[in-house]
Amino acid sequence: MMNEQRKKIHPHKFTLWVAIGSILMMFAGLTSAYIVKRNQASWMMLEIPVIFWYSTFTILASSATVQLALQKLKQREMIAYRRWLVITAVLGVLFLVLQIAGFMKFGELDIRLIGAGSNASYSFLLAISGLHGLHVLGGVIALVVIALRALSTTNRNYSTIPLEIAATYWHFVDILWIYLFIFFNWMK
């Protein structure tokens, strides 16, 4: 009986893994469509702006900081836990700001989403990266909620489950961005 209980996965963790599977299928479909569409005669090869490298390093750093936050929570080092959690959320926001700045670089090159100068390659890049950005924003919101609870003087719930779930999701969006970044650079 005890072994059966140990093998059970927390329902929220299970739900997260189902969601991750769905998100993976969506991005697999979008990147597959990108591959098919790039054979069109009007397809423009896009040079990925350097600022996307900075956003990549930022999200990699945030993956390390969320892991440090989880480690500190498990060790009940609450001040360090709160600090690493806030740093992770700030890095998530910085990632999004750098992504927006990267797409503004395309505007400087007169590459548009619609109208004269528009191209399907840019539309795909923006749609795929934008969807990823929305998923990162969702992760940032979750981290901010957890951080606010951690900073609250009235909350004394030290359960690691919420941060374990958020950290797993955060690592997922990190790995997903690495895949997308390599994909876009390889497909140019």
Domain of 148?
47-186
Which residues lie across from 118 on neighbouring strands? 112
The count of domains in the chain is 1
The model's confidence at residue 119, banded by pLDDT at 50, 70 and 90, is: confident
CATH of the domain at 161: 1.20.120.80
Q: Within a domain: residue 15?
A: no
Distance CA 43, CA 152 (A): 52
Q: Within a domain: residue 122?
A: yes
- pLDDT tens per residue, range 42-98: 788 888 999 999 999 999 999 999 999 999 999 999 999 999 999 999 999 999 999
Q: Within a domain: residue 85?
A: yes
Contacts of 12 (CB under 8 A, 6+ apart): 161, 165
Question: pTM score, two decimals?
Answer: 0.88
Q: Within a domain: residue 129?
A: yes
